[in-house]
Structures are given as structure tokens and as C-alpha cells.
Amino acid sequence: MTIRSFIFAGVALAALAAPAAAEEAADAADAAFADDGAIVVTARRRAENVQDVPLAISVVDGATLDAKGVFNISRLTQLQPSLQFFSTNPRNTFINIRGIGAPFGLTNDGFEQGVGVYVDQVYYNRIASATLDFVDVEQIEVLRGPQGTLYGKNTTAGAINITTRAPSFEFEGRTEVSIGNFNFKQAKASVSGPITDKLAARISVSATDRRGTIYNVATDTWINSQDNIGIRGALLWKPTDTFRVTFSGDWNLQDPICCGQIYARLGTTQRVASRQYAALTALFPGYKVPSTNAFDRLTDLDADIAARNELGGLSIRAEWDVGPGSLTSVSAWRYWDWGPKNDRDFTGLPVYTKVNNPTKQDQWTQELRYAFETGPIDAVVGGFLFYQKIRTSGVQESGPAASAWLLNPSSALSRNPAVLNGVIAENDIRLDNLSLATFAKLNWKATDRLTVSPGIRLNYDKKDGSYDSVVTGNASDGTRQIVSNSPTAPYYNDPWIAAQRGLQASQYFEPNFSAWNLSFDLNLSYEISDDVLGYATYARSFKTGGINLNGVPNLANGLPALEVAQIKPEKVDHFELGLKSQFWDRRATLNLAAYWTEIRDFQASVISNISGSSTLRGYLANADKVRVRGVEADFSVRPSERINAYLSGAFTDHQFVKFVDAPCPPELAGGPSGTPIGAPSTPGANSPANCDVSGQWLPGISRWSFSWGAEGNLPATLLGKQGEVYLGYEASYRSTFSSNASRSIYTDIRGYSLHNFRFGFRDEALDIFGWVRNAFDQNYYESLAVTPGNTGLISAQLGDPRTFGGTISYRF
């Protein structure tokens, strides 16, 4: 029996063994509410009522996550209109808040994202290491807007603060089992209690398994499945009332048959007609894509695909009440082991047989801070150390279809499969990343109602990297040779090697980056009444600079263009006004926020031809300026214990204010260089090297997004148990957004809405319910992407179809 099967079986038995009797009925939804309706958060590194915090914060408690089937960050987006999540696999994952946080469409070890993810106060530097299923989560806070003073350098867009359930000195536990269509199975269990009167423990496990939603006719398998397991354990040692230490450890494994992007549509580019998709596939008699309708959910990807994502770590958090405050130390080590296999030609043809970049990461963090209160002042001061080591050993290998697919049909070499067959690039990518910081945040209660809150953070970053790609291929005499850009290299003029060099050539360089940066903010908050708080914030924040570790363009002499190896830090100016209010005896809450964010040196994807080099190469660079501004509203109402409802919405206006050397969309790319520039979507027309996208949309952002829902319940008796029957409904909507680094007529994703329903019975211990998600079976794209070579093929990542099932959980 596998570990996963053991967990499923054990949790199922525990759930079925739930006692037949329960005591008084209680509403599980009340868990997040104190008697006065308060929700407690730690957004400012201390516990306080969310309505007293002058920040835009969305809070979801563990009971809500479980009830609504939100078991990872991806599903959290359906509850948070300002949160966007895009993923083609765990490593190629991007999280944005208010539309910013990560460049779209290019993964690079040498840069970092602008949304900080924290689990139990431990920073997760790589988003891929945060795609795990939630295990025993107590609460999730989404902090919108720059959080650089307390949360660090890479929180220019915001932070996601996840808190798991702490060990308890009273024995307690919980089990949950879910089953559904597509062979969905999920099991969760946790148990906590005292070991001695000073030591308590908690252990939690979670396992999720689901068949894929796309059928691969080439391999007779269902792909894009789910196959996750997670284990978390914690010990709480409390020798005195003023000192406590929490030891935590976790291990998580995702090992699905994933992740394949499939045929979505064709778009005409400026490549000559003989080098576009229709003409290229015609070179292979009998080849036909299984379906040109993506929502038939068929593909014929012929290369192996996998997305093994293993991660885990250990942490020690010590808290000591000293003097007028509390001293906190958080020490942590985390690792991430990424083992992918990809089909990067997105067809059933052996163009590329391998495109795999396995990565191993270790990170160490140490935070020390002191929070204190004296008179009208409370403050947090501290320091932070971060070190990260990343090692990526990649391979890319072309197959027997590569010559016809990738070389100019006018060349006789394109008709010889041996020319590009077996060209292999072996990549060794290394990064050592050091960051040091000191910070302070002060809250001065100037009057009974007015609080002035300045903050400052000084940060030092140093990155040392290396990129070593060794490309080999067969020369025309059959010998194995290095494919080099150097004119003095052996076989440089061999026609086969020259053709291979146009595909990819060996490259080596050692980029580095170091810089000091200062972040600061000023927040003014005023209690208009006991239940109404107004606030204003200005923040100057930054996202650290980086280095390009996916290769860079070459100069005319064949050497790498080191002038583009560095990426400058983003510089952020942020203004925000907000109002937080409760009324109707605190049964209703309405929070509003309006913001204006400008980013200079925005880190973005570009494609450039440097100094006459014949090779176009994608890399990261800095756009001059972007702007994102908008208005958000969060409303919730609970007129009685029998009904509650919520509505959240966001309007986001976004644009590249100035970006003159952006990558061109596919309809303006692929043709020869020269003037005049041809009309879009004209085969063989001249293409610009870069495009000016100033004034255009940023990728991935909807102008309008909403989430809403309600739940009602009535007293009921089931099998002699007194409880309540309930009906829940949740929905979300987002308007049209661009899914390409530069907006294209082929990659806009139309707006869509998703609707989920729940119906069940619960008492204070037992909860049994059925659920349906995407109830109206909405066909929608999560992302659309331009495939390599600009052949006109657009690939898609599909959202889940309708899913349904049932869940039983028991608390004791």
C-alpha cells in the first residue's frame, strides 16, 4: 500500500467512525467571528481586529476554505477578485495582486516575484514552492498593496500570509474525506493534544488524487491530473507563561501527469507562408491534430510530460515576552526539488523530444524582531537574513521532425532529418542569492482617533550566477561537435553546424548583481467613529534587481551581450485611500479602497536581436514605466445566524505608460527585418525587431472582477442529530484580459464567470455535504500562449470543467 493509499484509507475509516451522537448544534461558519464580530489578523506582526488595520486585507478562515473546496492558492482566486494566479506548471507560476507582481510568460531563476508568500511567518521565495495543497490552515490573509516595511523587498504588489493551526493543550482532531467525478479523492486529517503540561503536538496530513481532464491520444493517458500529498507536524514548548517555542516541519509532494498545453487556435503571423503551421504540418503526410476545438479536451503530445514538485522544510519560532513587548525569532530552512518533463513543440510531432529543466533549491532565513508598546507608541523593529542556493541542470533535445519544422524550407537541409535530429543543449544554471535587511515600523497615537504610522526598511541584495549551456550536434561528416557562436571554433562553417547554430548555440557567462535599497511608507488613520476608520498611505517600495539566467542574445562577434545580463530593481510609488466600516450592529461590513501605483523600471519580458546577431532571444529587461490604479470594495452581511452573504469587486485600470522595446505580438513577428514594416498578419511582410506598446494593457489583468456568494441554513434533525441543513453558493467573474506579454489579437481571453453550489447538514462535530463546482460547465481558458517559432500555433491551458462530489468531515 502506498503512503497516499494509506492516508485515504485511514482518514476514511476515521470519518466513518464518527460518533452517532453530538452535543449542541453550532454553526461552523461562526468560527472566524468573536462575540463582537471581530476577525483577528496578524498583518502587522501582532494580533488585532482586521477592521482596525489601515490596510486593504482579505481574510479567509480555515472553515471557509474547507467548505468551499479551496485547497491551494489557485482556487483562492475565486474568492479574491484582486488576486490573479497563472500556472502552466508549478515552476511557470505567476501570482499577481492588483495586476502586478511578476513578468508574464518567462521563467528565470535570476529574478523574483513581487508577491510575498509566508507560511507561519516563513518566507517562501519561489512561487513554485508555494503551490502546495493547504494542510491544516487556520487562516489566510491577502494583503493588497506594497508591504515592504514589514514583509520585505519583494512585496511590491502585496503579500499572502498563511497561518496553520497551532498545537493545542486540549486534545482535538479533525478528519475529512471527499470523492467526486474524474476519480477525485481527497483526504485530510489532523490531531493535536498535550504530551506533557508544557509540551503539545499537532500532526496533519493531506492527500489529493484526480484523473486528468485532457485525453492524450498519443499515449492513451489522461493528462493534467492531480496527485498531491502533504504532511505537517509541530511541537509547542511552553515552559513559562512568557516564553514559548514552536518547532515545525513539513513535507509535500506533487507528482501528477502534467502539464500539457494543447492546440487552441491558429493565427496568421508575418512568417513566410511556407513556415507557418498549416504548411509545416503538411510536410508530414497523415499528421492531423486530434481536434481543433480545445474544449474537446484532446491532444497528441508525444514527448514525456511530468511535473514532480517536492518541497519541505523545518522552522523554529521562539517568542519571549520581555519588558514592554515581545521578542520573536524565526529560523527556517526550506528545500525545493523540481523534476519536470515537457513537450515544448506542443504537437504530436517529434520536433523537440526533451525540454526539461530540473531544479534544486535550498533556502535559509532568519528573522529577529521586537514588538513593543509604551504609552501612545507601539512599534516593531527587527532584522532579516536570507540565503538561497539554486542549481538547475537542464536538457533540450531536438528530434527527427526538427529540420523540417525549424529550418527554412528553401534550404535542402530542411529536407534532411539528420541535420537537427539529436541536437542537445545541456544547461548548468547556478544562483547564489543573499539578502540582508533591517526594518522598523512605528504607530504613534497622536490623538484618541488619529494614528500616524511611518515605516522604513534598508535592504542589501547580492546575486552571483552562472549560465553554462553546451550545445552539441552532428556535423555533416557524422562527427559529434560543439555548436559554437565563435567564428574561430572548429566546424564553425560546416553547413550542418551553421544550421544548428541558428537553433541554439553554446553560451557561457557569469552575471552578478548587488545593490542597497531603501523602502519607506507613511500611513495616517483616523477613527471617524467607533465603527468607521479612514486611512491614507504613501509607500516607496522596490522589487530587487536580478540577473538573466535563461541565456542572453549574442553580439555580432558571438560573445554574450552582458549589457543585458542584469535587470534593474523595480521602483514603486504607491498611493492609497481607504475606508473600513461596520454598521447595523456590526452585522454588515463595507470596506473601500482606491489606489494609484506607478512602477519605474518594470521587469518585463523582451525579445531582442542584439548588434546584428541572427538569433532572436527572449530575456528579462526593464520597461520604463507602468501604471495600475483602481477601486476595490468588500461587503459582507450577516443579518442573523441563519444567513450570511458577501460581495467583493475590483476595477483595475492598467497600462504600460512607456515601453518602446517590447516583444511584438505574433501578428507583427516572424518576418524578415527591413522597411517598410508590413501589415499585421501578412505572411512574408517585414517585421519590426521590437514594438512600442506604450498605452497598451498589461498582461493578465481584468478591468473588472467580482466574487459573491451566500449561505442560508435552517434547524434540522438527521438520524437523531440536532443540527442544521444549509445551502451555499459562491461565484466569481473576471472580464477580458490579455494573455501575452504584448497584447495580441490572438491571445485575449474573454471574460467568464464560475458558479459553485454546496448543500449539506452539519452539527457542531459532523459536516456532510455535496458540492458542484463550475456548475454550468463554463468552457474557459486560464491562459493562451504563443508557441516557439511563431508558426501561428496558439496553445491553451484550460480551466476545469464541471466537477461534483461529496464531503464528510468530523471534528472532535
pLDDT in tens, 678-723: 999 999 999 998 899 999 999 999 999 999 999 999 999 988 889 9
Share of the chain above pLDDT 70, in %: 93
pLDDT at 615: 54
Read off the pLDDT of each residue in 78-107 and give the average, rounded to a whole number: 79
Residues in the chain, overall count: 812
In this model, does residue 363 exceed pLDDT 80?
yes
17: confidence class by pLDDT, cuts 50, 70, 90: very low
Instruction: Give SS3 for 692.
Output: coil
CA angle 551, 555, 558 (to 5 degrees): 85
Rounded distance, CA 541 to CA 521, Å?
8
pLDDT at 33: 39
pLDDT at 563: 87
Give per-residue pLDDT as tens, 681-691: 999 999 998 89
In this model, does residue 143 exceed pLDDT 50?
yes
In this model, does residue 613 exceed pLDDT 60?
no
Give per-residue pLDDT as tens, 536-564: 999 999 989 999 998 888 887 778 888 88
In this model, does residue 36 exceed pLDDT 60?
no
Going by CATH, does the domain composed of 3-811 fall within 2.40.170.20?
yes
pLDDT at 558: 79
Cβ-count burial of 463 within 10 angstroms (0-12 exposed, 13-18 middle, 19+ buried)?
A: buried
Tell me the domain boundaries of the chain: 3-811
Render 737-763 in DSSP notation, one character per residue: EE-SSS--TT-EE--EEEEEEEEEEE-
pLDDT at 35: 42
pLDDT at 484: 94
Instruction: List, in sequence order, every residue forming a beta bridge with 459; answer none if it has no partner.
Output: 437, 517
Cα-Cα-Cα-Cα torsion 17, 21, 27, 28, nearest 10 degrees, comes to -20
Are 303 and 353 a contacting pair, CB within 8 Å? yes
791: confidence class by pLDDT, cuts 50, 70, 90: very high
Read off the pLDDT of each residue in 641-651 and give the average, rounded to a whole number: 96
Render 146-159 in DSSP notation, one character per residue: --HHHH-TT-SSEE
**Half-sphere exposure in the Cβ direction for 152 (13 Å, CA):** 29
Instruction: Dump strand ranges (E) for 399-449.
Output: 424-445
Q: For residue 798, what are the contacts with CB-CB under 8 A and spacing of at least 6?
A: 213, 214, 224, 262, 294, 295, 297, 779, 780, 781, 782
In this model, does residue 323 exceed pLDDT 70?
yes
**315-319, 570-574, 628-632, 687-691, range with the lowest pLDDT:** 687-691
Burial 324-338 (b: 16+ CB within 10 A, else e): ebbbbebbbbbbbbb
106: confidence class by pLDDT, cuts 50, 70, 90: low
pLDDT at 4: 55
CA distances 165 to 130, 160, 773, Å, are 18, 16, 27
pLDDT at 149: 84
pLDDT at 16: 43
Rounded distance, CA 100 to CA 97, Å?
6
**8-12, 167-171, 279-283, 297-301, range with the lowest pLDDT:** 8-12
314: confidence class by pLDDT, cuts 50, 70, 90: very high
Are 778 and 752 a contacting pair, CB within 8 Å? yes
**6-15, 353-362, 669-678, range with the lowest pLDDT:** 6-15
pLDDT at 26: 32
In this model, does residue 1 exceed pLDDT 90?
no
In this model, does residue 428 exceed pLDDT 60?
yes
Render 502-556 in DSSP notation, one character per residue: HH---EEE--EEEEEEEEEEEEEEEEEETTEEEEEEEEEEEE--EE--S--PBPT
Backbone angles phi, psi at 234, to 5 degrees: -150, 145
pLDDT at 609: 52
pLDDT at 152: 73
CA distances 624 to 98, 655, 725, Å, are 19, 12, 56
Place of cell 476514511: 12
Q: For residue 192, what are the contacts with CB-CB under 8 A and spacing of at least 6?
A: 165, 167, 168, 171, 172, 173, 200, 201, 202, 203
* Mean pLDDT rounded to a whole number for the chain: 90
Read off the pLDDT of each residue in 469-491 and give the average, rounded to a whole number: 95
For the chain, give the longest Cα–Cα distance: 87
pLDDT at 772: 97
28: confidence class by pLDDT, cuts 50, 70, 90: very low
pLDDT at 611: 46
15: confidence class by pLDDT, cuts 50, 70, 90: very low
**242-246, 492-496, 669-673, range with the lowest pLDDT:** 669-673
**227-241, 427-441, 497-511, 604-618, range with the lowest pLDDT:** 604-618
pLDDT at 29: 34
| Residue 390 cell numbers, joined | 539554486
Are 711 and 769 a contacting pair, CB within 8 Å? no
How many other C-beta atoms can be found within 10 angstroms of the C-beta atom of residue 149?
24
pLDDT at 3: 54
Question: Amino acid letter at 48?
Answer: E
pLDDT at 300: 97
Read off the pLDDT of each residue in 192-204 and give the average, rounded to a whole number: 98
In this model, does residue 429 exceed pLDDT 90?
yes
